[in-house]
Amino acid sequence: MICGGEDEDFIDEERRDALMAKKTRRLEEKLGRVFPQLHTEAAFAWSGSFGATSTGLPTIGSVPGHARIHAVVGYGGNGITYSQIASEIVSAAITGQRTRTRSSSP
């Protein structure tokens, strides 16, 4: 199981990393309240920067000035979802295929 949270704005990476053990314990406790039947001690813990764009949308497509370089940069909590969709968009762009679209009509 992957569990995360306890996010906060930061400037100092050393201060952020010093809080990791305390935040990990807090997340273990919260997870244990939601799933009391599970052993919730973390096997791994990490911290990092939480990026975002002004629109909240990912960056997908060729890098300006570098026609053969494509970027898939999914920010925020939806990054994993965006990366799956983006992989299909970039793959289609490279191979010259059309991407699948969904119509709102039957």
Distance separating alpha carbons of residues 14 and 26, to the nearest angstrom: 19
Which residues, at least 6 apart from 61, have a Cβ–Cβ distance to it below 8 Å?
A: 70, 71, 89, 90, 93
pLDDT beneath 50, residues of the chain: 103-106
**pLDDT value of position 98:** 75
**pLDDT value of position 40:** 95
- Sketch the domain layout of the chain as residue ranges: 1-48, 51-106
pTM of the predicted protein model: 0.55
Q: What percent of the chain shows pLDDT beyond 90?
A: 27
Q: Are 92 and 99 in contact (CB under 8 A)?
A: yes
**pLDDT value of position 77:** 63
**pLDDT value of position 106:** 45
Judged by DSSP in three states, 82 sits in: helix
